[in-house]
């Protein structure tokens, strides 16, 4: 962690931080990409991707370890995300 910003985790190669509005277009791109979404039932439409980004932001505001962008330091590019989200399972809502 950085000394002054506990919301940011930095490694030698990566930065993990809360999502920002400036990340929206990149996440829409990723959520609409078949290779990125390979383990998801299907890619999102652009509208679904925008809604998913809004959800990601909302969860991060409620849970400090919600899904957050992973940024490659050498390029500044968001390469994915890490963290938890809520899921519905057996009639209850749980953290992943």
More confident residue, 53 or 7: 53
Confidence band of 88 (pLDDT split at 50, 70, 90): very high
**Is the model's pLDDT at 3 over the cut of 90?**
no
pLDDT of 5 reads 57
pLDDT of 1 reads 36
CATH class of 9-95: alpha beta
pLDDT of 7 reads 84
Spans of all domains in the chain: 9-95
- The beta-strand segments (E) located in the chain are 9-10, 14-16, 68-72, 78-82, 86-89, 92-95
Determine the average pLDDT of the residues in 7-19: 95
Share of the chain above pLDDT 70, in %: 94
Q: What is the pairing mode between strands 92-95 and 86-89?
A: antiparallel
**Is the model's pLDDT at 68 over the cut of 70?**
yes
Q: Report the greatest alpha carbon distance in the chain.
A: 43
């Amino acid at each position: 962690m950085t000394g002054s910003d506990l919301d940011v985790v930095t490694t030698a190669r990566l930065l993990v931080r809360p999502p920002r509005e400036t990340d929206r277009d990149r996440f829409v791109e990723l959520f609409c990409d078949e290779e990125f979404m390979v383990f998801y039932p299907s890619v999102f439409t652009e509208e679904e991707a925008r809604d998913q980004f809004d959800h990601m932001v909302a969860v991060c505001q409620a849970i400090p370890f919600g899904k957050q962008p992973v940024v490659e330091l050498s390029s500044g590019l968001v390469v994915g995300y890490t963290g938890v989200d809520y899921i519905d399972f057996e009639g209850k809502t749980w953290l992943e």
